[in-house]
Amino acid sequence: MNKAKKIIKKILLTFLILIVSYVAFTFIYTNVKYNEYNKIISENTHTDEYSYYIDNKTGYYLNIMKGPTSILPENFLSVKYENNTESISLFIWPSSFGVRYGLSFLAEEEKKLLDGSSFNSSEPVQVAGSTMYQFYVDKDMNPKQELLDIEQELYNKYKDQIKKLNLRAQELWNLD
């Protein structure tokens, strides 16, 4: 029985060390990377009257969201194009395991900031009386899932704008 307890303790200790190592690595990686992203933002933007970061080169809205824990998937970057009636956002989730991308389309009269955490396309999200469509894309901006008809229409309509958003994100943050 003593031998079994020692083996269990060793397994639990190993498991604990792995978890602590993962959390420490992710925390350090995220803080280092997001500090770099913040520096890039400050060098390439100005703020508008609402303190939004506006890209000096393109006029796109740029955002960096780093959550309080730095280890959860709530950390993201975004590049957004908008005009008076619609907005297209490219959300980017860089991590030590790779980069994930998502698109968000919103057409409404009164815009509202969104946190990028509600990505599951099969159900559109209602926002201020309008509908927001979100779906994941690969690094070449191709959908990673089957799209609803309206999502496919939006994707086709704004394909050139999506590629421009991605190009600017790659230029700024070197995500490859």
Q: Is 42 or 104 the better-scoring residue by pLDDT?
A: 104
Sign of CA dihedral 21, 19, 74, 77: positive
CA nearest neighbour of 79 among 100, 50, 59: 59
> What's the pLDDT band for 123 if we cut at 50, 70, 90?
low
Residue 112's pLDDT is 41
> What's the pLDDT band for 110 if we cut at 50, 70, 90?
very low
Q: How far apart are CA 105 and CA 143, in angstroms?
A: 13
Residue 136's pLDDT is 94
Map tokens 């191709």 to a residue: 142
Contacts of 56 (CB under 8 A, 6+ apart): 44, 45, 46
Residue 97's pLDDT is 77
Domain coordinates in residue numbering, the chain: 36-173
Map tokens 């409404």 to a residue: 108
3-state DSSP assignment of residue 30:
helix
CA nearest neighbour of 139 among 104, 176, 173, 97: 176
Residue 22's pLDDT is 83
Strand order in the sheet with 125-127: 45-47, 53-55, 61-65, 76-82, 86-95, 98-107, 130-137, 125-127
Q: Which amino acid is at 54?
A: I
Put simply, whether the predicted model's pTM sits higher than 0.85 gets the answer no
